[in-house]
Amino acid sequence: MDIQNNRPSILNAAAIFFATNRQNTLNYYSKLGFSCNESFGFVQLDGLEFIVHETGNLDNIRPNYPTHGPEALDLFCMVQGVEELYDRFTSRGASIRFELRISEYGMKEFAIQDPDGYSIGFGESLID
């Protein structure tokens, strides 16, 4: 609880991705430099955190792409140093969903895709 205002506050949020093989997915993110908690499936890199759960039901795996179109992502992160992050991920074997580009809305961005098809975009604003 926020003691100064005596009201509850949200401290963090984490999306949940369902995986066909949780260990395989955690290994993928680990090789990209994410911290992965093997026991609970938490995946974290700087301010990005999400949870990976294993499921035997393939219907539970529902990435936004391609169902919602070619630009659909499951997470989007604002970053500093997008080019360096892109280089880090590509040098570690990331599956690139779309290459580093400049968007029509003033972002330099790219996206990775995990073994179950979930996409995470990373972008840096080019507008002051």
Residues 52-89: tens digit of each pLDDT:
999 989 888 999 999 999 899 999 999 999 999 999 99
Place 128 in a pLDDT band, splitting at 50, 70 and 90. confident
pLDDT at 2: 54
pLDDT at 1: 52
Q: Is the pLDDT of residue 25 over 70?
A: yes
Please state which CATH number belongs to domain 15-125: 3.10.180.10
Q: State the Cα–Cα distance between residues 114 and 52, nearest whole angstrom.
A: 11
Global pTM reads: 0.91
Domain limits, the chain: 15-125
89-98 pLDDT per residue, tens: 999 999 999 9
**Average pLDDT of the chain, as a whole number:** 94
Please compute the mean of the pLDDT values over residues 37-49 and round it to a whole number: 96
